[in-house]
Amino acid sequence: MKNELTIFEKIIAGDIPADKVYEDEYCISFKDIAPKAPIHLLVVPKKKIVRISHATPADQELLGHLLLTARTIAEQEGFAEEGFRVVINNGKNAGEEVPHLHLHILAGMKL
Ligand code: AMP
Q: Which residues pair with 28 in a beta bridge?
A: 23, 44
Q: Which of 32, 40, 86 should be mutated for ligand 1, with most atoms under 8 A from CB?
A: 32
* Cβ of 89 below 6 Å from ligand 1: yes
Please report, for residues 19, 102, 108, the alpha-carbon distance to residue 50 in angstroms, rounded to integers and kept in the order given.
Answer: 22, 9, 29
pLDDT of residue 3: 66
Cα 21 to middle of ligand 1, angstroms: 15
- Mark whether 102 is an active-site residue: yes
pLDDT of residue 4: 86
Residue nearest to atom 8 of ligand 1 (CA): 32
82 pLDDT band, cuts 50/70/90, is: very high
Rounded CA-CA distance 27/60 in Å is 14
Sign of CA dihedral 48, 106, 25, 67: negative
